[in-house]
Structure 1
């Protein structure tokens, strides 16, 4: 194959789920010094039908206020807004103990602490936007066969035999990232020995913007408000319990869930199809290689506690877009070590702290040792009474990685 047969592009993204789609659309707005757009290629292995696309599955996720702001800055919020349900209050409690605390949007002068969105719904919108973007080419299904790093670019070979030369490679291909494995980038891995049961639940009382994070002996249980008075359930349980819980009929399952959650939303009336996801931390401490950067779950797949997964990833995408914007304005090579390392120097503390926090919380609140139970309940009680102690939790939950204790309010 001659060099003239090799496709030349500026940016190639591997993975067309939430992270890959959002980043591709954000980068499509950038311009080179001569005013021309970036040539962007997106490679996605799964067919676009939503029921088979792992990036847009049955889950609903919470978008923090900071994530919503970032999407608005990138011009993407109109794709999300019609499918969002605002979170106005978050109630955090420890089952069987007195410790609890609350976060409210009013405390921080916000209309909402965040928004809940169903991945399947927004997936349709993002796919339509990608198809309509004139400077983004999507190849789907596309199976990546090989990755060769060179000083001047990255050469990708597809299973079809097609070759692509790209100035910058972005891996957004999930927790089992093919790119990360091909480049032998080391990861830390921690199996929580838990699985998350995901479902939509109808409650007698409309959640009306209230989200609940309840810590149980098996793990955290979250109910997030959705449109139509429904809730999205994320119930983390010990892996040996999953088979029995999934085998229960709807009535019996709801009875077990009611026992774990309580009656703050009245009787749990109905439950949709249940799905199970194993909970395993994977974190790449240095998600860079020659002209390559990992983002989203390819860089860090977190425990769902505190809903930080996509929100941490969105901060990756937002700052990477800003870094490339600055590089283009300065006439720098967007795939250079200078540009990518500059991006990483700004990201590494947030990533490390968020990975640590979610992992520590997951392990702390699944531990039934008396001293730890007493300590965490004291911490929840003090946070309820002393806003300065609640600030770090609020900062991470809202997606504004700042010192809230020094601010009277957060503005969007």
Structure 2
């Protein structure tokens, strides 16, 4: 049984689309499994990633690096502990143009989706297809991982993360700031909206039993809590995005690569001994 695709990638997030573009550039025929487009996709998504120089170089090679307002260079980092403990890092001291870049996730996803649509060699499909190699890029909630029988162990930490966006009275100065409190909270302000920006992405790690009370606060009261935790370093704060939350987990797959003939044959209704092997690469959560 011949396959019309060299590789089937299950999952069309940032990892799956980037891999598809890289493989298509090598003239491989790629099937990218993605659900139908959601017109509301990206609306209300407050995620932001800290990407390294290596990640920037890779995405620039694909012409998918966002403009500066969506990929703000971090020139310094300040980490504050309880009491007077603090540590600082500087791009100047390291002799680099930036420590990393804080990238708006929806902006990056849009660029990758557009690139996939224009790239020959990639077929976007809604269901898995036969291919000599299957790559799983579905993340923590992977259905394929369960289908292939890959054990995925999770350890739940006693914390949840809350994420949102804030507008600040003062410019962030391209500084990423983090505070560790005596109560066990960890708050990060990540600079957004370019070099002169006044917006930050917030990630606030709290003990799980406190999550409901914090999520019940109105926007003004929530911003006031963050003002207090940050010592007012950026002046008055206003919440400008929705709040998202998720549990913090340690997740490990027992296998990263290997043959999966029996499970694959069953999934695709192949004969008991399919003609070509496939490989499973469960994605780390």
TM bin, normalised by shorter chain, reads: 0.7 to 0.9
State the TM-score, normalizing by the size of structure 1: 0.60
The alpha-carbon distance between structure 1 residues 78 and 185, as it changes in their structure 2 partners (threshold 3 A), is closer
The alpha-carbon distance between structure 1 residues 286 and 81, as it changes in their structure 2 partners (threshold 3 A), is farther
- Structure-2 residue corresponding to 1:198: 163
Query: How many Å apart are 1:270 and its aligned residue?
Result: 3.6
State the TM-score, normalizing by the size of structure 2: 0.84
CA distance in 2, matches of 1:186, 1:237: 29
- How big is each residue's C-alpha offset from its partner over 1:349-395, in whole Å with a ceiling of 9 and x where there is no partner? xxxxxxxxxxxxxxxxxxxxxxxxxxxxxxxxxxxxxxxxxxxxxxx
CA distance in 2, matches of 1:9, 1:269: 49
SS at match of 1:292: coil
CA distance in 2, matches of 1:219, 1:8: 52
- Structure-1 residue corresponding to 2:203: 234
| Equivalences for residues 169-188 of structure 1 within 5 A | 169-188=134-153
| Equivalences for residues 2-21 of structure 1 within 5 A | 3=1, 7-21=3-17
Query: How many Å apart are 1:77 and its aligned residue?
Result: 4.7
For the aligned residue pairs, the C-alpha RMSD in angstroms reads 2.1
CA distance in 1, matches of 2:67, 2:132: 33
Tell me whether 1:223 sits opposite 2:194 in the alignment.
no
Query: How many Å apart are 1:110 and its aligned residue?
Result: 0.8
Query: How many Å apart are 1:78 and its aligned residue?
Result: 4.3
- Structure-2 residue corresponding to 1:65: 53
The alpha-carbon distance between structure 1 residues 231 and 178, as it changes in their structure 2 partners (threshold 3 A), is same
Choose from 37, 49, 58 the match for 2:38: 49
CA distance in 1, matches of 2:34, 2:245: 23
Kept in 1: contact 2:64–2:111 (CA 8 A): no
Q: How many residues align?
A: 262
- How big is each residue's C-alpha offset from its partner over 1:163-188, in whole Å with a ceiling of 9 and x where there is no partner? x3211111001101122112222233
Greater share of helix: 1
CA distance in 1, matches of 2:103, 2:40: 17
The alpha-carbon distance between structure 1 residues 115 and 128, as it changes in their structure 2 partners (threshold 3 A), is same
- Structure-1 residue corresponding to 2:265: none
Query: How many Å apart are 1:127 and its aligned residue?
Result: 0.9
5+ residue gaps in structure 2? 260-277
- Structure-2 residue corresponding to 1:113: 99
| Equivalences for residues 52-201 of structure 1 within 5 A | 52=41, 57-72=45-60, 75-82=61-68, 83-94=70-81, 96-139=82-125, 142-143=126-127, 156=128, 164-201=129-166
The alpha-carbon distance between structure 1 residues 102 and 16, as it changes in their structure 2 partners (threshold 3 A), is same
CA distance in 2, matches of 1:117, 1:131: 22
CA distance in 2, matches of 1:204, 1:180: 46
Tell me whether 1:288 sits opposite 2:257 in the alignment.
yes
CA distance in 2, matches of 1:87, 1:186: 38
5+ residue gaps in structure 1? 31-36, 144-155, 157-163, 302-412
Kept in 2: contact 1:14–1:172 (CA 8 A): yes
- Structure-2 residue corresponding to 1:263: 232
Which structure is richer in relative contact order (CA contacts within 8 A, separation 6 or more)?
A: 2
Kept in 1: contact 2:138–2:283 (CA 8 A): no
- Structure-2 residue corresponding to 1:345: none
SS at match of 1:206: coil
SS at match of 1:289: coil
- Structure-2 residue corresponding to 1:153: none
